[in-house]
Amino acid sequence: MTITKLAAGNWKMNGTSKHLSEAKTLAAMHPASSVEVLLCPPATLLASMARIVLGSAVQLGGQDCHAKAKGAHTGDIAAEMLFDAGAGYVILGHSERRADHGETSADVAAKVEAAWDSGLVAIVCLGETEAQRDADETLAVIGAQLAQSLPAGANAENTVIAYEPVWAIGTGRTPSEAQIAEVHAFLREHAPDAGVRLLYGGSVNPDNAASIFAIANVDGALVGGASLKAADFTRIISALESSSPG
């Protein structure tokens, strides 16, 4: 089975209109690609960025959505709104959402269904804390999150799974290659569809990307800070292209 690899950049709460030039540069660098290239900017930039990257290999996604299609939910954004603004993907269940907003895996599952209903591919994030890693609970935690965050019907066409150890996000620390391999082998075995793409996230940068992409069952990356600059993100994309059979 051939899996098209994915380099996804999560801008988080960073970026205003003056930063659209980075997306323009990235699009110019990647008019085509053997892998999928994705930027997930703040929702305020989606529509403008969609016009900028049109015709290039760069696709767009949102960073969260509400479980409801519409209604009295001040400050929230519906999946259909993201789709309308130019998104094809949405990140759901990121550890920052789980920690900062108290989202449970059940909440994530409801959002995944909303994303599917609006034609978005859900990138579902899973990951253990440092305390859980130290207690040797990683696979139990990942297994529970996987089972509880994915509704029935998850498959390679509508879902991507991203493993992001909480203790490695934004810290400059990464798990060992053996630790990443162990979790990705577990996810491959327990994913609802053999073709579901498995991303690694957590302090991915241009210097460590190639070694991470060489690990079995790693189909790409969910990149944070290193995706904010086109010059950095393109090096990660190039490393993924080099690892791709396509």
Q: Which residues are catalytic?
A: 94, 164
* Neighbouring residues of 140: CB distance < 8 A, sequence distance ≥ 6: none
Question: In this structure, are residues 86 and 59 in contact, taking their beta carbons and an 8 Å threshold?
Answer: no
Question: In this structure, are residues 192 and 159 in contact, taking their beta carbons and an 8 Å threshold?
Answer: yes
Looking at the DSSP bridge assignments, the partners of residue 78 are 66
**Cα-trace Rg, the chain:** 17
Nearest to 236 by CA among 14, 3, 39, 12: 39
Question: How many Cα atoms are found within 13 Å in the side-chain-facing hemisphere of 59?
Answer: 18
Angle at 97 between CA 42 and CA 173, to 5 degrees: 90
